[in-house]
């Protein structure tokens, strides 16, 4: 690509962000200092939405990295307001296809032979076109097909000059990041250069097709023994950093409900299997397919014998974006679940530190106070009170908490973000496949497996314990919880041994009670939010509820 075009692209990005920053200064600094705070506050949501629309329009026109930037920003609920993230959430990575001649030249340069020699047939019409590359169907020569064990393939080819475009766009974004870091509130609450480094790392992995090929092979090995999961095999001889050749496994899109039903496949079974595969990825493999949108998941019908129910496979494609779950992340998530389940605001803050979610200089005491306020708003309510909570009240609390995040030095690690985003999309897919999908019924078999592996116990015992907890919830006086809260908040010290023992026994019962309350509260809250069409908030609530259920299954009665 000509340097002049790259320079023009660089300046165009800078010009857009310079305009956005100027408008921010005008409204949020100048007008506020002129005594127009109320006007600034009342117009802020609409202004932010329009700003997001401007960026979305820019991303669609420019393609390349800017669409990826929009998708990345849409997941940054920790540093951006809802008006922006909601608008960018629907930004699709679909752009006009490149001319086939350009893709033909790239294939020839990468494989050191013409596509006609490499493939028996190569379809000039792309199967799919995205911002970084596009996919064409092809057929292997008979000799190569005999070696591979399959003949029909897809060839993923990078767009021309994409690396230069990526480097140019990232250079412009780094300059914008330097501008933002000069503004004190941004400097104190967000590490923009770190965010850009995370984004750049992810982006460079996506344009390295050798890395994607390796991801696909790891995923294939993880599910080799599962006949209900299909993962495309890689043709290594026809794969480079810019060209990726895979087995063609395209079938019925997982959101094509009519086609799935027409094939005689039980959609509820597909939803259950989808959940099972992701539980395995998260808890056993620590290697997660992190881009489960409808274009990357298929249901593949299989030949069935006479009088047998239809057979099928769940098929995954596109392994450019994966989430790895290191031990430290797993430990931090477990710590967070326990802290939430025991209403331990200090434990929640410590879990944030373990997960590296807090920037240096974070005021831990203020964060702990904020967490305690969140607990106070929901704990202590009866079952009837929980059922009667209006969607509006839950929505207001969720938005209040998200606004609090904007004013606190939080930064969620990229792996945790991908995991949260994946679980949210996954839950929506399962519900779409089966409107009666019950997450907890589907979760129970896997939870039993985890319990037996780590605790050597049977699930029946723990389910009985959950029943006792529910009875305790109805019988335990609410005054006890309030007394313990007052003791904690007033910093009273208990020194008499007998009092300490009694306090510990009662505290253990309250811990288990709190776990059942948080599970019920977030389960009901998630249901209410889903009815109110607040999809993201509902997925967050369902996720917290599920984690709390796992904690309750692991936690035994105190002696």
| DSSP code of residue 155 | E
| pLDDT band (50, 70, 90) for residue 517 | low
SS (H, E, C) 346-371: HHHHHHHHHCCCECCCCCHHHHHHHH
What local confidence, expressed as pLDDT, does residue 455 receive? 46
Interhelix angle 391-406/535-554, nearest 10 degrees: 90
What mean pLDDT value characterizes the chain? 77
418 or 462, which is more confident: 418
Q: Which of 132-136, 171-175, 337-341 has the lowest mean pLDDT?
A: 337-341
Find all residues with CB under 8 Å of 139, minimum gap 6, and list them. Answer: 119, 120, 121, 122, 145, 151, 152, 153
Among 129-133, 337-341, 448-452, 519-523, where is mean pLDDT lowest? 448-452
The pLDDT score that the predictor gives to residue 328 is 76
Helix (H) or strand (E) holding 121: strand 121-129
pLDDT confidence tier of residue 473, bands split at 50, 70 and 90:
very low
pLDDT digit string, tens, across residues 31-64? 888 888 899 889 998 999 999 999 988 888 887 7
Q: Which has more confidence, 179 or 511?
A: 179
Q: What is the pLDDT of residue 173?
A: 93
What would the two tokens of residue 500 be?
């300490």
For residue 252, the cross-strand partners are 299
The two three-digit tokens of residue 481, written as one number: 């919880």
* Selection from 415, 409, 417, 402 nearest residue 359 by Cα: 409
What is residue 261's predicted lDDT score, i.e. its pLDDT?
94
Q: Cβ of 498: how many Cβ atoms within 10 Å? A: 7
The mean pLDDT of 379-403, rounded to a whole number, is: 54
Asked whether the whole model's pTM tops 0.75, one would answer no
Q: Is residue 509's pLDDT more than 70?
A: no
Classify residue 228 by burial, with Cβ atoms within 10 Å: 0-12, 13-18, 19+: middle
543 has pLDDT over 50:
yes
Least confident of 22-31, 221-230, 433-442: 433-442
- Distance of alpha carbon 473 from alpha carbon 482, whole angstroms: 14
Is it the case that residue 440 has pLDDT exceeding 60? no
In the chain, % of residues over pLDDT 90: 34
Q: Is the dihedral of CA 343, 347, 353, 355 positive or negative?
A: negative
Domain parsing of the chain, residue ranges: 1-91, 94-250, 375-411+457-554
Per-residue pLDDT tens digits for 210-262: 999 999 999 999 999 999 999 999 999 999 999 999 999 999 999 899 999 99
């Amino acid at each position: 690509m000509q340097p002049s075009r790259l320079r023009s692209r660089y300046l165009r990005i800078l010009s857009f962000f310079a305009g956005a920053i100027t408008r921010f200064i005008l409204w949020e600094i100048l007008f506020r200092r002129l005594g127009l705070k109320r006007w600034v506050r009342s117009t802020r949501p609409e202004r932010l939405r329009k700003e997001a629309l401007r960026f979305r329009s820019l991303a669609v026109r420019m393609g390349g990295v800017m669409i990826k930037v929009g998708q990345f920003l849409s997941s940054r609920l920790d540093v951006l307001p809802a008006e922006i993230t909601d608008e960018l959430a629907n930004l699709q990575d679909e752009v006009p296809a490149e001319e086939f001649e350009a893709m033909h030249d790239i294939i020839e340069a990468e494989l050191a032979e013409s596509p006609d020699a490499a493939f028996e047939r190569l379809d000039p019409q792309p199967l799919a076109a995205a911002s970084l590359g596009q996919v064409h169907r092809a057929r292997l020569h008979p000799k190569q097909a005999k070696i591979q064990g399959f003949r029909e393939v897809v060839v993923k080819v990078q767009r021309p000059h994409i690396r230069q475009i990526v480097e140019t766009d990232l250079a412009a974004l780094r300059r914008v990041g330097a501008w933002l870091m000069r503004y004190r509130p941004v400097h104190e609450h967000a590490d923009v250069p770190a965010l850009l480094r995370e984004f750049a790392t992810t982006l460079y992995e996506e344009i390295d097709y050798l890395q994607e090929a390796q991801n696909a092979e790891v995923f294939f090995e993880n599910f080799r023994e599962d006949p209900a999961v299909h993962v495309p095999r890689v043709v290594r001889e026809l794969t480079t950093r810019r060209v990726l050749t895979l087995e063609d496994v395209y079938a019925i899109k997982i959101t094509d409900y009519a086609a799935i039903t027409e094939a005689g496949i039980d959609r509820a079974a597909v939803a259950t299997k989808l959940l099972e595969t992701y539980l395995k990825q998260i808890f056993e493999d620590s290697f997660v397919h992190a881009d489960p949108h409808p274009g990357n998941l298929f249901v593949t019908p299989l030949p069935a014998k006479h009088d047998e129910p239809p057979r099928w496979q769940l098929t995954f494609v596109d392994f450019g974006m994966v989430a790895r779950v290191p031990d430290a992340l797993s430990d931090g998530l477990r710590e967070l679940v326990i802290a939430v389940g025991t209403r331990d605001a200090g434990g929640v803050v410590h879990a944030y530190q373990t997960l590296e979610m807090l920037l240096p200089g974070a005021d831990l005491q203020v964060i702990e106070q904020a967490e305690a306020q969140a607990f106070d708003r929901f704990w202590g309510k009866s079952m009837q009170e929980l059922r009667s909570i209006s969607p509006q009240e839950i929505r207001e609390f969720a938005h209040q908490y998200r606004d609090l995040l904007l004013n606190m030095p939080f930064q969620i690690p990229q792996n945790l973000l991908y995991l949260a985003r994946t679980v949210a999309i996954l839950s929506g897919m399962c519900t779409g496949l089966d409107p009666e999908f019950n997450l907890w019924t589907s979760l129970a078999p896997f939870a039993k497996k985890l319990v037996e592996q780590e605790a050597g116990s049977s699930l029946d015992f723990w389910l009985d314990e959950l029943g006792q907890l529910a009875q305790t919830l109805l019988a335990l006086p609410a005054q006890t919880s309030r007394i313990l809260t007052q003791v904690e908040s007033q910093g009273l010290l208990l020194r008499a041994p007998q009092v300490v023992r009694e306090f510990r026994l009662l505290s253990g019962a309250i811990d288990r009670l709190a776990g059942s309350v948080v599970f019920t509260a977030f389960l009901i809250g998630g249901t209410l939010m889903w009815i109110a069409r607040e999809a993201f908030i509902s997925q967050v609530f369902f996720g917290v509820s599920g984690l709390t259920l796992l904690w309750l299954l692991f936690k035994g009665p105190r002696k």
